[in-house]
Copies of this chain bind each other. A is one copy, B any other.
Amino acid sequence: MAAKTDIKGTDETRAGDVLHRMRLDIISCALKPGTRMRFETLKELYAVSFSTLREALQRLVAEGLVISEGQRGFMVAPLYLSDLQDLTDVRVLVDQECIGRSILHGDDEWEAQIIAAFHRMDRLKARLNDLYFMSDEWAVLHGDFHRSLVSACRSPTLLDFRDKLFQRAHRYRRMSCQFRTKWRPKDVEHRTLMETVIARDAPAAKNLIERHIRETTENVIQNAGQFLSTEPTAFPGILKSIAAE
């Protein structure tokens, strides 16, 4: 039945709830990349027991948001330049494929969902103007819009993978906001993307999504590239250096 990972994580169990909250904290960088996650701390932060925490953490490891080592516990996955580049390439591959298939299979309802998602995103942006991209609410609607584009691709496996990649990438975008100097206007890109997809022009849409993804990554690197770790990540080594700051 393919990957039933349920990216929402809200499976009405307590661990699912903690997973959900923890994930938001990680992708919003409220839990800083590279920080050690001690159980005592987390326990009072989320008000649940060891086992429940452990369960949520395990699932986050599978999503690539947390890493764990042997008997040494967990830490928020650090942000690496090399990881961002890897992520970018894979996202281009996967999103292109998903968009191609969606254009092939999508029906009227699919188009309607895209237009609706764009409208919601566009209106919110107008309301929040200028610092809209810092808002968590906008992050959700932006994510929804991009997902609507690929939602008709008819591959649960690919879609599930795509969602995880998108989430991981979001942490880098979020981090770069803080150091932002300039930000290119993405609303035009989004509109063009929508129009091209609905016009069923697959090659053009694939080009657009590639440019969209790669340019965003370049922006991130320009804004925050110097703050990204450069990979010398032995697990115990980093713990001290991070705890120190």
Contact = CB atoms under 8 A, between A and B. Distances in A.
B62 A62 contact: yes
A70 B157 contact: no
Interface in A112-169: 154-158, 161, 165
A93 B86 contact: no
B83 A155 contact: no
A245 to B, nearest CB: 19
Interface in A198-215: none
A231 B2 CA distance: 11
A241 interface: no
Given A1-B77, A54-B51, A93-B97, A69 B157 contact: no
B4 A233 contact: no
A168 to B, nearest CB: 8
B1 A156 contact: no
B1 A71 contact: no
Contacts of A70: 11-13
Nearest to A79: B1
Contacts of A192: none
Interface in A30-53: 51
Contact of A1 (B1, B13, B83): B83
Top 6 closest pairs, chain A to chain B, by CB? A62-B62, A3-B64, A51-B51, A58-B58, A90-B157, A4-B67
8 contacts: A1-B83, A2-B64, A2-B83, A11-B69, A58-B59, A64-B157, A87-B157, A161-B161
